[in-house]
A and B are shown apart, each in its own frame.
Chain A
Amino acid sequence: MRWPAPLQRRLDAWVSRRLPPGRQVTLNQSRIFIVPTRQGLLMLGLALVVLLVAINFESSLNYALGFWLVAMLWAAVHLTYRNLSGLVVQAETAGLVEAGENVSYSLMLSSPRSRYRGPLEFRHEDWGQVGAEMDGRDTQVTLSRPTSQRGRQPLPRFRLESRYPFGLVVAWSHIKMDLDAWAYPKPVEQRLQPVGTEPEGDVSNDHFVQAGTEDFHSLREYQAGDSVHRMHWPSFSRDELVVKHFVDYQAADQWLDWHALPGLAVEMRLSALAWHMLRCQQQDRPFGLRLPGYEIEPDKGQRHLERCRRALAEFGELR
């Protein structure tokens, strides 16, 4: 149901005041709303019809039946309320995705006492409805929604509702979890301009960057902890403790620098950086990320990529 806009705004404001966000939300009487559904009201109407039959046909048993139906509606309130009461919703993790993709949030539902709570429904217009059946102490729910922009993707205030077991009443709560997902910029190809501060010339020819195991490089003095297998035995005969030093050859470190993309808008620059990151990753080259006021040392691998993407996603947020 939609209210007129000003009323809706006030209602939303009231709900967010009344139901503040948190990493963990326990549903109790101040958070659960419960009203009869349309189906429940229909039941009430039906009971009235039965009572009318009772009156007009002077049928004693129909009086009993009519009141039974009314009372069943009353009893159903307790049974439905019970599904949500005491339920603990806990924020777990949220994903990091490219802007425009679907991001998922995972929540943990738990309850201090094991109880069958029937199918619960998580509703929001972003994901329609997601069901979770809770039987026992805990269960995990994954919600996913599309992202449109780079940046913080908070889990919106959603509606958790239960109509179980008879659909006569609906109990619900509006839950706002303190859980953010992030979307990094969509990669867009742009040329990097050389940046003045970057050292040029011979440094860029130095292809070995770190100790490795592939190629022999030089001899060096033994240090405590060096492997016996790398000992240079001919030198040992001359009473010198020398070990062989190996290196891995690598391409030059590439710094992906914010300032290497002059003349572009902020989001465009971030998109370009994301594109270069992806390229480096594909070519298995190490790269570093340099953003205004923030720097990530060159490295490679999936985790490094994620870290850099996260940095792009979080760009502009207060840290």
Chain B
Amino acid sequence: MTQFVPIMHRVMPLPVLWVLLLVQGVMVVPFLFYLPPWLGVVFVLVLIWRWRVTHGDMRKAPRSLIVLAMLVGIGGLLLSGLRAYNLDSAVALCVLGYLLKSLEVMRRRDGIFQAYLGYFLTGIFLLYNYTPVGALVAIAMVLANTLALHAVTADQTFCWKRGTKLSLALMVAAVPIMIAGFLFFPRLPPLWSIPNDERGAQTGMSDEVDPGSVASLAQSTEPAFRVQFEGDPPPRQQWYWRGTTLGEFNGRVWRARFRDRNRFQWPRGQLPLAQPGAEQFEYSVLLEATQQHWLYFLDWPTQVRGQEAYVLPDGRAARRNSLSQTYRYEAQSAASVTWPNETALQWYQRLPEQGNEALRQWGLELRQNAGSDAAYIDAILNHIRTEPFRYTLQPPQYLSADSLSDFWFDGRLGFCSHYASAVAYLARVAGIPSRLVGGYLGGTYNQSGDFIQVRQMEAHAWVELWLNGQWQRVDPTAAVAPGRIDLNLDDWLSEDNPSDLPFGARFGRNLGPFNDLRFWWDSVQYQWQVSILNYQQSNALGLLEARFGRINPWHAAASMAVFLGVLGLLMAWFTGLLQLPRRQPEPWASLRRVERQYGNRHTGETVSDFMTRLAYEHPGQREALARLAQLIDTLAYDPQAMLDASRRRDLKQRVEACLK
């Protein structure tokens, strides 16, 4: 028996190794945006080695190189802080493995393995970037890996042009089934819960606010969430989107009562919730992935409908699992609510024993002069209004133990969180229960998509005070910068203090077409998220059932079979496997009609011989057959004559005469 190298063990030719190198680049580069830059160093190491391989040095990578690359990679991961076991570090390890594996890709089996790992990494990439752009990148990745698969199989016969064409053909041919699967495959709940499903950094309001953190959030023009109202949205001044309620103060930082840390102690069951007043709003929110738990609401939330989401008693809603991807929920808010018995009022009055003594004294003095709680608050706000306080995105860092006093008496430069923090503190000094609310203020209405887009830049903090038996919103920012309430931060700043704006927000602000483009892109993204990312399989089924009535499994199976059958035929036709019977050109078609009536021509019998024989066999038709034979002869040798309509008519008549 002759021995031959099994297919999977064949060494790949150089052009194929080139393809694999390129594919590797396509796969790894997009990941570098999400993973530690150390992987880039490993990538370069691998690239240098593979460069040698593609120039004919087909040796195995030396052990020292593998160890070095591994050390750089793993050391880099550790240095970048990926110590914990979570998705980020798992993916980083996976990409590292992909890179190291490629050091030894020589044989066909290795090439196929690389392509398959590439497909898998494409899926992983989609966990990180699911925007329309990300989808395009993923398509490029699939194309690259398909090309790799082709190159490995084509071996010596590989050719770029043909390979690209075939890969594209395969991908396009697969699209209908992909769409059908996407539309009709049931969306199952997760089979098991993913521990530490963290992808990228946390964004949005966190459950701990120190005054500087909100200002840094305001530097970002990234979208935070998008809201679509049923019916008319409330007026612009009421666009207070609340996220976290922060009630615990340690002299510098405000903390929420229910935090990520204690998420297994959150209250469950029937909770005392605010009762809605007359004016209510229904809306749906599409929240970007924040890696946190907090959902955003129009002030004040009364109800939330979303997977695993519920309203907590401190006037906000949360999800026990952090939001690792865009999340859509429906909610209800009321302009005014009546509060149930607040049980934690004392907790909202607690202050640290020490620190900010000057401010405490100042507050107590003011309270005595004011007479009532309401007058006291008014006096504070008045103080902000009259004294030279300034609202700025770049406040000094008040780092001492008396940060609030420093701000209140010396600095007088602050962002919304500084003012809110100080006012809430002053309220507690006088014994008024108070809390900070972190969220967003404002937003941009997108006409083409009919939704309000709120960016990180709209981040805001304000105060809630317990006065007259209910929580009341007090926004000290309105006192220092009244314009901010009516305008988005960048609009307000560009009038007031443009140099404060981050560069990205300043650029192209007043270019009309640019703005239009931005609105259009926002609305594309919104549609993408609503219809693709948050697609539920019931959508398409519902549409079908509305049209054709209830669908039972038999119908489903039958339509699936028909779908695949039609698709198979189409595919066979496109690939040239199936040929439609072609119509014979005239005059042969006419001749065929005659043959069908009188019997076929013998082999080697010319048309005129055939007609003569027929005329002999059917003397009654002699005249007609002779006339037809003459015309067929003419037409057979003069294709131009067929273009003449009268000739065609003539032919038809003569044939019919023969067939009578």
Question: Is B441 at the interface (CB under 8 A from chain A)?
Answer: no
User: B507-531 CB contact bits vs A (8 Å, 1 = yes)?
Assistant: 0000000000000000000000000
Question: Is A93 at the interface (CB under 8 A from chain B)?
Answer: no
Question: Is A53 at the interface (CB under 8 A from chain B)?
Answer: yes
- Residue of A68, A129, A163, A167 near B174 (CB, 8 A) is A68
- Residue of A66, A78, A85, A165 near B571 (CB, 8 A) is A78
Shortest C-beta distance, B222 to chain A (Å), equals: 20
Task: Say whether B126 contacts A75, CB under 8 Å.
Answer: no
- The SS class assigned to the A binding surface is helix
User: B175-194 CB contact bits vs A (8 Å, 1 = yes)?
Assistant: 11110111001011111101
Contact A52 to B191, CB < 8 A, known contacts A78-B577, A79-B575: yes
Question: Can you give 23 A-B contacts (C-beta < 8 A)?
Answer: A42-B116, A46-B116, A55-B191, A56-B192, A57-B325, A59-B325, A62-B127, A64-B182, A66-B181, A67-B177, A67-B178, A68-B142, A68-B171, A68-B178, A71-B178, A78-B568, A79-B166, A82-B575, A125-B1, A133-B157, A165-B150, A166-B146, A166-B166
Task: Say whether B577 contacts A128, CB under 8 Å.
Answer: no
Which residues 149-164 of B sit at the A interface, judged by CB distance below 8 A? 149-150, 152-157, 162-163
Contact A63 to B181, CB < 8 A, known contacts A55-B191, A71-B174, A78-B575: yes
Which residues 489-516 of B sit at the A interface, judged by CB distance below 8 A? none
Question: Is B533 at the interface (CB under 8 A from chain A)?
Answer: yes
Question: Is A105 at the interface (CB under 8 A from chain B)?
Answer: no
Chain B residues in 8 Å Cβ range of A43:
116
Complex Cα–Cα for A46 and B115 (A)? 11
Chain B: residues with Cβ within 8 Å of the partner, total of: 64
Task: Say whether B177 contacts A167, CB under 8 Å.
Answer: no
Shortest C-beta distance, A219 to chain B (Å), equals: 57
Shortest C-beta distance, B144 to chain A (Å), equals: 14
Chain A residues in 8 Å Cβ range of B163:
165
Task: Say whether B120 contacts A49, CB under 8 Å.
Answer: yes
Task: Say whether A60 contacts B532, CB under 8 Å.
Answer: yes
Name the residue on B nearest A65 (C-beta). B123
Shortest C-beta distance, A239 to chain B (Å), equals: 60
User: Of A111-119, A290-298, A305-313, which stretch is located at the interface?
Assistant: A111-119
Shortest C-beta distance, B577 to chain A (Å), equals: 6
Question: Is A33 at the interface (CB under 8 A from chain B)?
Answer: no
- Residue of A42, A76, A119 near B156 (CB, 8 A) is A119
Question: Is B379 at the interface (CB under 8 A from chain A)?
Answer: no
Chain B residues in 8 Å Cβ range of A75:
169-170, 173-174, 571
Task: Say whether A166 contacts B116, CB under 8 Å.
Answer: no
Contact A61 to B153, CB < 8 A, known contacts A71-B181, A72-B174: no
Question: Is B98 at the interface (CB under 8 A from chain A)?
Answer: no
Question: Is A184 at the interface (CB under 8 A from chain B)?
Answer: no
Task: Say whether A128 contacts B190, CB under 8 Å.
Answer: no
Task: Say whether A55 contacts B188, CB under 8 Å.
Answer: yes
Complex Cα–Cα for A74 and B122 (A)? 20
Question: Is B534 at the interface (CB under 8 A from chain A)?
Answer: yes
Task: Say whether B155 contacts A119, CB under 8 Å.
Answer: yes
Contact A165 to B166, CB < 8 A, known contacts A60-B534, A75-B173: yes
Question: Is A50 at the interface (CB under 8 A from chain B)?
Answer: yes
Name the residue on B nearest A167 (C-beta). B153
Task: Say whether B123 contacts A78, CB under 8 Å.
Answer: no
Name the residue on B nearest A74 (C-beta). B177
- Residue of A55, A62, A128, A164 near B2 (CB, 8 A) is A128
- Residue of A62, A76, A163, A165 near B126 (CB, 8 A) is A62
Complex Cα–Cα for A119 and B157 (A)? 7
Task: Say whether A72 contacts B170, CB under 8 Å.
Answer: yes
Give A residues with C-beta under 8 Å from B: 39, 42-43, 46, 49-50, 52-72, 74-76, 78-79, 81-82, 85, 113, 115-116, 118-119, 125-129, 133, 163-168
- Residue of A61, A71, A118, A168 near B533 (CB, 8 A) is A61
Task: Say whether B181 contacts A53, CB under 8 Å.
Answer: no
Task: Say whether A163 contacts B191, CB under 8 Å.
Answer: no
Chain A residues in 8 Å Cβ range of B156:
119
Complex Cα–Cα for A72 and B149 (A)? 12
Question: Is B448 at the interface (CB under 8 A from chain A)?
Answer: no
Chain B residues in 8 Å Cβ range of A57:
127, 190, 194, 197, 324-325
**Most A CB within 10 A of own CB, among B119, B187, B189:** B119
Question: Is B3 at the interface (CB under 8 A from chain A)?
Answer: yes
List the 4 closest pairs (A to B, CB-CB), nearest first: A67-B181, A71-B177, A71-B174, A128-B4
Chain A residues in 8 Å Cβ range of B170:
72, 75-76, 79, 165-166
Shortest C-beta distance, B201 to chain A (Å), equals: 18
Question: Is B135 at the interface (CB under 8 A from chain A)?
Answer: yes
Shortest C-beta distance, A69 to chain B (Å), equals: 6
- Residue of A60, A62, A82 near B577 (CB, 8 A) is A82
Contact A129 to B4, CB < 8 A, known contacts A53-B127, A78-B571, A166-B146: yes
Complex Cα–Cα for A127 and B303 (A)? 76
Complex Cα–Cα for A302 and B153 (A)? 46
- Residue of A39, A59, A78, A133 near B127 (CB, 8 A) is A59
Chain A residues in 8 Å Cβ range of B123:
49-50, 53-54, 59, 62, 65-66
- Residue of B130, B162, B176 near A61 (CB, 8 A) is B130
Complex Cα–Cα for A132 and B131 (A)? 46
Shortest C-beta distance, B591 to chain A (Å), equals: 24
Complex Cα–Cα for A39 and B171 (A)? 18
Task: Say whether B153 contacts A166, CB under 8 Å.
Answer: yes
Since A61-B135, A61-B532, A167-B149 are in contact, a sample of 9 more A-B pairs with Cβ atoms closer than 8 Å, ordered by chain A residue number, is A50-B120, A54-B123, A55-B189, A59-B126, A63-B187, A67-B180, A82-B575, A82-B576, A165-B170
Task: Say whether B197 contacts A59, CB under 8 Å.
Answer: no
Complex Cα–Cα for A78 and B567 (A)? 11
Contact A60 to B575, CB < 8 A, known contacts A42-B116, A118-B154: no
Shortest C-beta distance, A217 to chain B (Å), equals: 56
Complex Cα–Cα for A58 and B191 (A)? 10
Name the residue on A nearest B535 (C-beta). A60
- Residue of A39, A46, A49, A56 near B191 (CB, 8 A) is A56
Question: Is B124 at the interface (CB under 8 A from chain A)?
Answer: yes
Chain A residues in 8 Å Cβ range of B544:
none
Task: Say whether A81 contacts B175, CB under 8 Å.
Answer: no
Which residues 99-157 of B sit at the A interface, judged by CB distance below 8 A? 112, 116, 119-120, 122-124, 126-127, 130, 134-135, 138, 142, 146, 149-150, 152-157
Which residues 346-361 of B sit at the A interface, judged by CB distance below 8 A? none
Question: Is B572 at the interface (CB under 8 A from chain A)?
Answer: yes
Contact A119 to B142, CB < 8 A, known contacts A67-B177, A74-B177: no
Task: Say whether B130 contacts A46, CB under 8 Å.
Answer: no
Complex Cα–Cα for A54 and B150 (A)? 26
Complex Cα–Cα for A52 and B150 (A)? 26
Name the residue on B nearest A145 (C-beta). B2
Task: Say whether B119 contacts A69, CB under 8 Å.
Answer: yes
Task: Say whether A167 contacts B576, CB under 8 Å.
Answer: no
Task: Say whether A163 contacts B153, CB under 8 Å.
Answer: yes
Complex Cα–Cα for A132 and B611 (A)? 49
Task: Say whether A58 contacts B190, CB under 8 Å.
Answer: yes
User: B580-619 CB contact bits vs A (8 Å, 1 = yes)?
Assistant: 0000000000000000000000000000000000000000
Name the residue on A nearest B149 (C-beta). A166
Complex Cα–Cα for A244 and B142 (A)? 89
Name the residue on A nearest B193 (C-beta). A56
Task: Say whether B130 contacts A60, CB under 8 Å.
Answer: yes
Task: Say whether B127 contacts A65, CB under 8 Å.
Answer: no
Complex Cα–Cα for A115 and B181 (A)? 32
Chain B residues in 8 Å Cβ range of A78:
173, 568, 571-572, 575, 577
Chain B residues in 8 Å Cβ range of A55:
187-191
Complex Cα–Cα for A76 and B571 (A)? 10
Complex Cα–Cα for A78 and B116 (A)? 21
Chain B residues in 8 Å Cβ range of A79:
166, 169-170, 575
Task: Say whether A56 contacts B157, CB under 8 Å.
Answer: no
Chain B residues in 8 Å Cβ range of A71:
173-178, 181
Name the residue on B nearest A124 (C-beta). B2
**Most B CB within 10 A of own CB, among A42, A71, A74, A128:** A71
Chain A residues in 8 Å Cβ range of B162:
116
